[in-house]
Amino acid sequence: MKLKDLKTNKNNPRILKDARFKKLLNKILVYPNLLSKRRITYDSSQYNTVLGGNMRLLTLNHISSKIKNKDLAKEIKTAQDKLGIDNEMMLNNSLAIFTELQNSKEISNEWIQDTNELSEDEKQAFVLIDNVNDGEWDFDILANEWEIDTYDWGIVDWKIDEEPEVDYSILDNENDLDGLMSNMTNNVKKAIQIEFDLDDYEPAYELVKFWREQGNVGKMILNFLQSEKDKL
């Protein structure tokens, strides 16, 4: 099917901007074969409007029209680097697929599926279900069992800091419980969750990540907030 024949859904409740779009672009550049496993879903009875996969369609249009053919291999290699991949065979596979996409402006029928047989209620439910993320990430498992950069994969822990567990076993058979408890609680870090608008989240994440590496970002925020309060 021609890319131009698929229409993005203007009523899609999900949006993707800037850095998050770049993350999706990287994943598609590296893993184009997976597009056949999670197909772009459209409704041929409504002028081929996309019900699921609007962001994937926008990404494919970007690859087709915004990336120059001579830069394609470099873009794919950069995407591999971002995702921690170094595989020449995968790079050549992606290069062949997206070169064909750029030349033909068509996507494989294996990447799409029609839902014209569904009822209107089912179509509306599909849009919502396709965009809802049930469950939550177990960041301990990701850190210990998966060798990935969760940020570049778009998996983000929204907490500013984690609250470490306190080992109370050291209190066994001790007399000075008050003193020990005071020492332990003094060393415990607390977390405060800060809400950001969608457009502000990415730059905020990068700044917090940068200043965390420099030192105590919590103290910096506290000092700034106090200085602003003193101006009132």
Query: Looking at residue 199, what is its pLDDT?
Result: 66
**Mind listing the pLDDT tens digit of every residue in the chain (232 residues)?**
999 999 988 766 555 566 778 888 999 999 999 999 989 999 999 999 999 888 899 999 999 999 999 999 999 999 999 888 999 999 999 999 999 999 999 999 999 999 999 998 888 888 777 766 545 556 566 566 666 565 555 555 444 344 444 444 544 554 555 555 555 455 555 666 676 666 677 777 788 877 877 777 788 888 888 888 888 8
User: Three-state SS across the chain?
Assistant: CEHHHCECCCCCCCCCCHHHHHHHHHHHHHCHHHHHCCCEEEEHHHCCEEEECHHHHHHHHHHHHCCCHHHHHHHHHHHHHHCCCCCHHHHHHHHHHHHHHHHHCECCHHHEEECCCCCHHHHHHHHHHHHCCCCCCCHHHHHHHCCCCCCCCCCCCCCCCCCCCCCHHHHCCCCCHHHHHHHHHHCCCCCCCCCCCHHHHHHHHHHHHHHHHHCCHHHHHHHHHHHHHHCC
Query: Looking at residue 60, what is its pLDDT?
Result: 95
Query: Looking at residue 170, what is its pLDDT?
Result: 46
Query: Looking at residue 22, what is its pLDDT?
Result: 86
Query: Looking at residue 215, what is its pLDDT?
Result: 73
Query: Looking at residue 169, what is its pLDDT?
Result: 53
Query: Looking at residue 178, what is its pLDDT?
Result: 57
Query: Looking at residue 41, what is its pLDDT?
Result: 93
Query: Looking at residue 217, what is its pLDDT?
Result: 76
Query: Looking at residue 198, what is its pLDDT?
Result: 61
Global pTM value: 0.59
